[in-house]
Chains A and B, each alone.
Chain A
Amino acid sequence: MTDTQSLPGGSLMGEPSETGRFGEFGGRFVPESLVPACFELEAAFRTAWADPAFHAEYEALLRDYGGRPTPVTECANLSKQLGIRLLLKREDLTHTGSHKINNVVGQALLTKRMGKQRVIAETGAGQHGVATATAAALFGLDCVVYMGEVDVERQALNVFRMRLLGSEVVPVASGSRTLKDAVNEALRDWVANVESTHYCLGSVMGPHPYPWMVREFQRILGAEAREQCRAVLGRDPDVVAACVGGGSNAAGTFSGFVDTDARLVGVEAAGGAAIGRGIPGVVHGMKSFLMQDEHGQVAEAHSISAGLDYPGVGPEHAHLAASGRADYPSAGDEEVLRAFELLARSEGIIPALESAHAIAWVVAAAERGELAPGTTVLVTLSGRGDKDVAQVMDMVNARTS
C-alpha cells in the first residue's frame, strides 16, 4: 500500500501556516460558535495523521472496503486519435464510484475518535453524499445530507441511493438551490449541533483544517498514480490534469506530482470558473477566488455538472494558481458532453460529467496543438458516469429532436 504519511515542510502542497493559510488564501472565517470545533478537528487530525495505527486502519479500509489501489488505464484508442499518450487514473472504479470515498473514510474514522455520533454533509452531484452515507452505514453513524433542490432533481438516482443507505437527504430551497446553498445549510446545521455533530465536508474547501485535511486524505490517489505512471511510462507524465469544483480530486492528484516537472492543469466548469472568472473573496470559511459581483455578493454558478456548479474553489488551488505552479482553464457544457460521449465510444468508459471536463480540455488542447504529438498526459477520472446517464440522455434527445 502506498505510504500516506504527509510530507513535512512549508513547500508547495505541504502544511499550511498556523492560521491555515496557503500563501494569502485559506483561513478560518466561521461564526464564533464553530471556531472551537475547528480547533478540535485540527487537533484530532494532527494526532491521527501522526499515528501509524490510524494510517493502518485508514489504508486497510480503503483497500478491503474501498477497492484501492485503483488502476491506471492507458487509453490506446483515444491516444491514437489525439496523437498523444493518455492515461486515466481510475477513481471511477472505487466503491461508491468516485474519489470521494478516500476522504470520507478518513473523516469517519476521525468522527469516531472525536466521540461524535452524527455526521452531516453537503453534496452537489451526490457523489460525496453517497460516500458519506456509505461510511455512516458502515460505522453506524446518523447522517444528514444537504442537497440543492436543482441537484435533487437532476441527480435523483443518487438521492435514492443515499436514502437506501439509511441517510436523510434534505433538499435546500434557498439561493441558487445548488451546491453553494447546500454548503450554507450544512454550516447552519453545524452551528446548531456542533457539540454532537461532525461536518464531513466533501472537498478541499471551507475553514482550516478542511482544505489541508481533505487534501491529505486524497493524497493516496496522487501517490498511487505517481508510482503507476513511472511503471507504465518509465518516467513522470508531461501533463497531469483533473477537474476542479472545490478541487479535491485535483488536490490529491497534484500532491503526487507537484515536485515533478509535470504541467499541472485543473479544469473548471466554464459556468463555475472561480479562478478563471473570480477574484479573491471570503465565503464558506475560506479566503479564495470567488465569482462575485461588484458589491461582493456571491454569483450563482451554472454548469451541467452538479459537482462543479460552485462559485468558489479550494484555497490551495487559489495559491497554486497565484504561484503559477498550476493553471486552471475551463471547459464549456457542450464540449464536455462531446467528451463524455467520446470516452464512452472510444474506450468503453462512461465518465462522470465532472471528470469529463478534464477529458474535454485534453481533447481541445490536443486538437489546437497545445499538446505536442507524443505528449504523455495523466487525467484523473474522478468518478463514473452512471449517475449522469439519465441527464445526458435527456440532453442528447433534446439535441437530436
Chain B
Amino acid sequence: MSLEDHLRARRDAGRKLLVPYVTGGLGDDWVETVRALAAAGADAIEVGIPFSDPVMDGPVIQQASERALHAGATPGGIVRALSGVDAGVPLAVMTYYNLVFRAGHERFASSLATAGIAGCILPDLPLDEAGEWCAAADAAGVATILLAAPTTPDDRLAAICERSRGFVYAVGVLGVTGERSSLAASATVIAKRLKAVTDRPVLVGVGVSNAEQARQVAEAADGVVVGSALVRRLLEGAGPEGAAAFVAELRAGLDG
C-alpha cells in the first residue's frame, strides 16, 4: 500500500494522523526509537537524514543533526538501517536536496524504494525545481511530499497539492522548525486553505509542540508532524521509552 493510500484509509476511518520526526543516526538506539514510536501510535514516521547546513531547521534539529554527523551518520547508512526496521507503519525520509543531487536522482530514489521507504521530504526543493526528482521518485514508487507555506498564494497552493504525493505538508508558522509556546493562528489558516483545495491528507508541521496544540490544529487539519519537541526529549536522554511516552501523549490528545 502506498503512503497516501495508507494515510487516506486511516483518515477516512475517522482517525487524526500523527507523524513524529526523529533524526536518523542520533544515538545508538535511534532505530529502536523508530519502532517504539510506531508501537506508541504513530501513523507514519519521518526520519531525518542529517545535512551539514539545514536552513529550514531551528536549534534543536540543528544540534541533533550535528551530533548524528559527528557520530558518523551517512545517508547510505541511515537508509540501510531503515530497511531492517519493519515498523509496521510507513516511513518517510526528510533531508536536504544536495544529498539527493550528489547521489543522483535515480540512485537515491531506488535506494529508498529498495529499503522499503515510502516517502521523501526535501524542504529546500520547492515545486518549481522538483521536476527531475519527482520523475525519479514516481518511477521508483516513492512519494514526494511537498511543503505549502503561509506565504504561498492560492494558485500556487493548488499546484503544490496537485504535485504532492503521500500527504501535503502544511508549514504551520513562518519560521524554522522548533517548539512554540502556543499554536500560531497561521497553522489553522493554512490547514483550512489546503483542505479547501485538496482531498489529499493535510498534515501541519513546524511549531506543533505538544498534545494540546496537536489537538487544536487537527480540528482543521487531518493530522500533525511533530519534530523538535520529540527530538529535544531525545537530546535530553529520553531514549526510545521516553520518546514513545511522548508520542502516546500526542496520540491521546489527537484521539481526544
Taking a contact as CB atoms under 8 Å apart, the answer to whether B128 and A19 are in contact is yes
Collect the chain B residues with CB atoms within 8 Å of residue A292's CB: 98, 102
Given known pairs A28-B126, A295-B75, A296-B103, the reply for A37 and B151 (CB within 8 Å) is yes
Given known pairs A32-B149, A295-B75, the reply for A184 and B98 (CB within 8 Å) is no
Collect the chain B residues with CB atoms within 8 Å of residue A28's CB: 126, 128-129
Collect the chain A residues with CB atoms within 8 Å of residue B33's CB: none
Taking a contact as CB atoms under 8 Å apart, the answer to whether A32 and B126 are in contact is yes
A35 within 8 A of B: yes
Taking a contact as CB atoms under 8 Å apart, the answer to whether A195 and B52 are in contact is no
What interface size band does chain B fall in? 35 or more
| B150-190 interface code vs A (CB 8 A; 1 in, 0 out) | 11110010001000000000010011100000000000000
Taking a contact as CB atoms under 8 Å apart, the answer to whether B126 and A29 are in contact is yes
A191 within 8 A of B: yes
A296 in complex: contacting residue of B55, B102, B129, CB < 8 Å: B102
Distance in angstroms between the alpha carbons of A37 and B66 in the assembled complex:
29
Given known pairs A187-B55, A297-B51, the reply for A32 and B171 (CB within 8 Å) is yes
Taking a contact as CB atoms under 8 Å apart, the answer to whether B98 and A281 are in contact is yes
A194 within 8 A of B: yes
In the assembled complex, how far is the CB of residue A210 from the closest CB belonging to chain B, in whole angstroms? 15
A175 within 8 A of B: yes
Binding site for A on B (CB under 8 A): 51-56, 58, 62, 66, 69, 74-76, 97-103, 123-129, 146-153, 156, 160, 171, 174-176
Taking a contact as CB atoms under 8 Å apart, the answer to whether B98 and A290 are in contact is yes
Distance in angstroms between the alpha carbons of A28 and B124 in the assembled complex:
9
Taking a contact as CB atoms under 8 Å apart, the answer to whether A192 and B124 are in contact is no
Collect the chain A residues with CB atoms within 8 Å of residue B103's CB: 295-296
| A286-315 interface code vs B (CB 8 A; 1 in, 0 out) | 010010101111100000000000000000
What interface size band does chain A fall in? 35 or more
Taking a contact as CB atoms under 8 Å apart, the answer to whether A30 and B126 are in contact is yes
Distance in angstroms between the alpha carbons of A243 and B129 in the assembled complex:
31
Complex interface residues of chain A between 186 and 229 (CB less than 8 A to chain B): 187-188, 191-195
Taking a contact as CB atoms under 8 Å apart, the answer to whether A281 and B101 are in contact is yes
Given known pairs A31-B55, A191-B56, A195-B151, the reply for A283 and B98 (CB within 8 Å) is yes
In the assembled complex, how far is the CB of residue B193 from the closest CB belonging to chain A, in whole angstroms? 13
Distance in angstroms between the alpha carbons of A36 and B98 in the assembled complex:
22
Taking a contact as CB atoms under 8 Å apart, the answer to whether A283 and B53 are in contact is yes
Taking a contact as CB atoms under 8 Å apart, the answer to whether B98 and A188 are in contact is no
Collect the chain B residues with CB atoms within 8 Å of residue A34's CB: 151
Q: Which 4 A-B pairs have the closest CB atoms?
A: A296-B102, A192-B175, A33-B149, A297-B52
Distance in angstroms between the alpha carbons of A156 and B48 in the assembled complex:
37
In the assembled complex, how far is the CB of residue B178 from the closest CB belonging to chain A, in whole angstroms? 10
- Can you identify 29 A-B contacts, CB atoms within 8 angstroms? A28-B129, A31-B124, A32-B146, A32-B147, A33-B150, A34-B151, A35-B126, A35-B152, A36-B151, A36-B156, A174-B66, A180-B53, A184-B53, A187-B55, A195-B174, A282-B124, A287-B101, A290-B98, A292-B98, A295-B74, A295-B76, A295-B99, A295-B103, A296-B51, A296-B75, A296-B103, A297-B51, A297-B99, A298-B98
User: Of residues B51, B55, B62, which shows the largest number of chain A Cβ atoms within 10 Å of its Cβ?
Assistant: B55
A175 in complex: contacting residue of B53, B101, B123, B125, CB < 8 Å: B53
Given known pairs A296-B98, A297-B52, the reply for A192 and B151 (CB within 8 Å) is no
A245 within 8 A of B: no
Taking a contact as CB atoms under 8 Å apart, the answer to whether A36 and B176 are in contact is no
